[in-house]
Structure 1
Amino acid sequence: MKKLSLYTVLATALGAASISAAQAQSKFDGFYGQVGVGYESVQPSFSNSNITVSGVGSAPIGTSISNANSFTGVVTLGFMTTVTKDFLLGLGAEYAPIAGQKANYSASVGGVSIGNGEYNKENSYNIFLTPATPIRQDGLLYGKVGYTGASVKDTFAGSSATTNYTGYSLGLGYKQIIQGGLYGFAEGNYMGYSNKTASASSQYAGYTITASNTTSANAYNLLVGIGYKF
């Protein structure tokens, strides 16, 4: 009788543990893939820009630049796991295959124009961690902290160049199960890109002319889309 009672207690305990583990596991556990579309704004800046003529002197370059606002699309793959019943942690990577819309800028020295140009952001990516918490049974509130990069194609006075920027990203979003593994989501992301310094040199009428500039950029996007948890 004692053995039977012990077996009964063990079976009950194991059953309760199994039920508790099943309840703790989120519907968002595992691998997922998603596609989002939305609005993006790129906000670049120039600083420490100047032009130098050998034997004459140097002068600051004045710049005027517009934000690039455009449609964007992002493809994401990732994995999430339950840490506790109220906390999940994930790792993901995303890529934006759609080049951003071109925007204009101009440069001048001493109030005299030296040319106009245009730029756009391309090939942006983001590798991120996702801390999250369940909302009821079918929802998930999550944040994103990551490492991001992008290329900016710049055309000025007939010549073009591509500069690669890297920086950090922050995001916040919400996912909602629609049916089975299918879910919808909405999120906002901010990207802060670090400074890049570039310089160029040319000869004109016996003088050496050099120019340098330091650029940086911030960007944000607002996305909605659908995904599938495998």
Structure 2
Amino acid sequence: MKTAVNFYFLIVSFFVASSYAQTSNLAGPYGQIGVGYQNTSPSFSNTSLVALGQSLNPNISVSNSSGTTGVISAGYNFSLAPSLLIGLGLDFSPFSTQSATASASYSGPIGSYQNSASVYIKNTLNLFISPGIALDQNKLIYAKVGYTGASANGVNTDFYMGGTSFGFGYKQIISSGVYGFAEYNYVNYGSLSRSLSGNLVTPTKLSVPATLTSTVSATSTNLLIGLGYRF
């Protein structure tokens, strides 16, 4: 009797282990759509103001921007082991972020200066790799690391910014290939130098040309939820 019981538990254990050894239902090609909330934080450094042949130090104030966003994604999850996947994917967000405003001001013996500009980011592309661990056949936790490029507008001109992205998330099959997911992402868009033309007003009320130069950088975070389909 004891031998039969042991054999029974051996058979049950085999089938349980086999069920976890099967390939994850989230392996293979997929497409998904996510919506959520995004916060963008621009910053300005190495800022100088040149007027009347002098280099001045202006005061800079910056406002962040936040609002809703949406991301379309596609990719492929490769199965490396029964519970280990590695994914390659592409995120695309066609939506512009809300405008963040930067203001520069100066007041000193040679005069006063005041100027402002808005900055926003749009058409963001994120190419990433995504290692994941299958909790069972229908559940997956994963991380993301990649390169992000985006169009930006500031100082009334368009320019390109690019940098690194990091994220993590959770997916779960709902029914027949359809899955839900939740995801958090952080992007550092890198930095570049930008110039803004304006005028400094002298104590005698004379308006003279002035050039504001600054290194512009930006980061953003988003929290997404959505639905996808594993083909």
TM-score (norm 2): 0.82
Partner residue of 1:222?
A: 223
Task: Output one character per residue of 1:147-198: Cα deviation in whole Å (capped at 9) or x when no partner.
Answer: 011222125xxxx112311110000000000001100000000001212112
Partner residue of 1:153?
A: 153
- Partner of residue 64 from structure 1, selected from 61, 64, 85: 61
Task: Output one character per residue of 1:82-122: Cα deviation in whole Å (capped at 9) or x when no partner.
Answer: 10112100100011011111232211123745123222211
Q: 1:22 deviation in Å?
A: 10
Number of paired residues? 208
SS across alignment from 1:110: strand
**AA in 2 matched with 1:183:** Y
SS across alignment from 2:58: strand
Partner residue of 1:211?
A: 212
Structure 2 Cα separation of the partners of residues 34 and 113 of structure 1: 49
Structure 2 Cα separation of the partners of residues 206 and 226 of structure 1: 57
Q: 1:126 deviation in Å?
A: 0.4
- Partner of residue 42 from structure 1, selected from 34, 40, 43: 40
Partner residue of 1:185?
A: 181
**AA in 2 matched with 1:150:** A
Structure 1 Cα separation of the partners of residues 106 and 198 of structure 2: 17
CA contact (8 A) 2:20 2:82 kept: no
Q: 1:28 deviation in Å?
A: 1.1
Structure 2 Cα separation of the partners of residues 228 and 171 of structure 1: 20
Partner residue of 1:114?
A: 114
CA contact (8 A) 1:24 1:84 kept: no
Structure 2 Cα separation of the partners of residues 203 and 23 of structure 1: 70
CA RMSD of aligned residues (A): 2.6
Unaligned runs of 5+ in 2: 1-13, 201-205
User: How do 1:1-230 residues align onto structure 2 when only pairs under 5 Å count?
Assistant: 23-55=21-53, 57-110=54-107, 112-155=112-155, 160-199=156-195, 209-230=210-231
Cα 1:198–1:22, aligned 2, differ >3 Å: closer, same or farther?
Answer: same
Structure 2 Cα separation of the partners of residues 227 and 183 of structure 1: 5
Q: 1:215 deviation in Å?
A: 0.9
Cα 1:172–1:22, aligned 2, differ >3 Å: closer, same or farther?
Answer: closer
Structure 1 Cα separation of the partners of residues 95 and 198 of structure 2: 35
Unaligned runs of 5+ in 1: 1-15
Structure 1 Cα separation of the partners of residues 104 and 76 of structure 2: 46
Structure 2 Cα separation of the partners of residues 92 and 152 of structure 1: 23
CA contact (8 A) 2:98 2:120 kept: yes
Structure 2 Cα separation of the partners of residues 197 and 95 of structure 1: 26
Structure 1 Cα separation of the partners of residues 198 and 101 of structure 2: 24
Query: Which 10-residue stretch deviates more, 104-113 or 196-205?
Result: 196-205
| Aligned sequence identity (%) | 39
